[in-house]
Chains A and B, each alone.
Chain A
Amino acid sequence: GAVVSQHPSWVICKSGTSVKIECRSLDFQATTMFWYRQFPKQSLMLMATSNEGSKATYEQGVEKDKFLINHASLTLSTLTVTSAHPEDSSFYICSAKTSGTDTQYFGPGTRLTVL
């Protein structure tokens, strides 16, 4: 149980284009989802928290107009990197939790490379 998937696992795009990453909870209702960014050999940095049906709460320094997050259902959240640039290249990881619990379950991550 408590499986979280991400799609795609790896994406390459050209500078200036937008990329959408999906995060799905497969066997539980994800009332809250989180998006993290991880640079090579570094820790996870929380980008934003989203509750189903509500606007995402972004961490300080994260541009909400660049990293669009939608959490429209209890099983799906999407992160759209708009007008991507090479500095946006990174590993993006989502996690999800259900109400009444404190444990986050992580997706396998998405490697974004912007050329």
Chain B
Amino acid sequence: AQTVTQSQPEMSVQEAETVTLSCTYDTSESNYYLFWYKQPPSRQMILVIRQEAYKQQNATENRFSVNFQKAAKSFSLKISDSQLGDTAMYFCAFMKHSGGSNYKLTFGKGTLLTVNP
């Protein structure tokens, strides 16, 4: 079974600064996907970024980027130029590659990020 660990229950950052959220995972799979989702106070889950394990290049989406270290099973999220709207709970998630699997997501416990003005 896969496990996802987010060791930072809460973090805070000043507006316009950079923050990095940590995520580690444990799996025996060699092919899989990793995701970061955010859940703002509205509780709507929003996909932030995804990474395919077979790709060495780190994914980026505007101000969001990841540091994917496959050997270390680490998948951190960096948010640059933090904005007040980034305040949310961030969940790291793991999914086995398809090939007949049912695409189940395994979530970490989340990190509550607060961006201060």
Could you tell me which A residues sit within 8 Å of B by CB distance?
A: 32, 34, 38, 42-44, 46, 49, 51, 57, 91, 93, 95, 97, 102-106, 108-109
Q: Is the CB of B91 within 8 A of A44?
A: yes
B44 touches A106 (CB 8 A): yes
Bound Cα distance A46, B105 (Å)? 8
A108 touching B91 in the complex, CB below 8 Å, given contacts A32-B103, A43-B107: no
| CB contact under 8 A between A42 and B104, given known A91-B43, A102-B33 | no
Most buried by A among B35, B43, B45, B47: B45
Chain B nearest Cβ from A99, distance in angstroms = 10
Residue from B35, B95, B107 with most neighbouring chain A CB atoms (10 Å): B107
Q: How far is the CB of B13 from chain A (nearest CB, A)?
A: 20
Q: Contacts of A103 on B, CB cut-off 8 Å?
A: 35, 47, 50
Bound form: Cα–Cα A103–B34 in Å: 10
A93 to B45, CA, bound (A): 9
Interface majority SS on A: helix, strand, loop or mixed?
strand
Q: Are A49 and B98 within 8 A (Cβ)?
A: no
Docked complex Cα distance between A27 and B52 (Å): 25
Beyond A42-B109, A43-B91, A43-B110, is A105–B104 a contact (Cβ under 8 Å)? no
Nearest Cβ on chain A to B28's Cβ, whole angstroms: 19
B10 to chain A, nearest CB (A): 11
A104 close to B108 (CB less than 8 A):
no
CA distance A79 to B105 in the complex (A): 19
**Which of B42, B47, B103, B107 has a CB less than 8 Å from the CB of A105?**
B47
Which chain A residues lie closer than 8 Å to B102 at the CB level? 32, 49, 51, 57
Among B98, B105, B110, the residue within 8 A (CB) of A104 is: B105
Residue of A nearest to B52 (CB): A102
Residue of A nearest to B33 (CB): A102
